[in-house]
A and B are shown apart, each in its own frame.
Chain A
């Protein structure tokens, strides 16, 4: 079962790299923002998979909840900034 979680995590890591490419080189601010938000959700799942591998899910759930919340606040902040300043 650990190997399955490990493979799943590696697949998600590859997807994170693709999103990172979109975040760094993406044309325009909106593409960058979408890429970074996608990285946040994938990181959350990777954290939970790490919890399953180390048999400490209850510990990693705490971290992932905080991560999800801060990701939410960051998304709202970026969206509000773009709404007020316009797409730069």
Chain B
């Protein structure tokens, strides 16, 4: 069984705003999945709620559209229940860095073998334009009429500090580069995190395609195993007053995954274990 990018198309029309960064992102993601030869039925994409989180409906694999901020816990459990599946969690910046940030912080400690893609458009889109955790200082939105006065959330720095074993940033305006990032992320054994700049053409009038084109550059010659170098790169945008915004793999190391440390699922995934045959006589004896 082989797959092509066409296999992942759905008959329903994709309904994001014309020009939305999500189009670049989904093309790159489907391309990566197809290039890696992942099978449709062995792949599960989970999402939260938001524009980004409509993605599972537009890729013909198994999918689970959960509730706002909960893409990661659902994805985690799917992986724990069936380690053979390719699990990709997606969500937005509000979804993952706002309402669901506790899951982001803790999943990195666990290092499940799954991929997390954040559609980072620095704004709340589906709720029509409120400030998000990654909205830049001074940005005027419906909820910050006088400009953002909260320090933006730093997803990459948080991920590097938090124990993620693969940390990358991509740009939806460069789907070719993004596809390669996704491929590397999916192939990484452990928790792979990709923050994707994905311009919201309707509500974010600051971080537009031209804004990114002027600032983005691809990391080269960067030592991905050096945590301090990675952190430095993660702060480069802020430190250069957003004159230089690097994309690419920031950090990549190996650590045992959570699930491979569980002897009870070493031989067989949970869902493949026969149920109804557990012998409780030992447990009863212990209670006597």
A and B part of one assembly: no
- Footprint of B on A, CB under 8 Å? none
Measured CB to CB, the residues of B under 8 A from A are: none
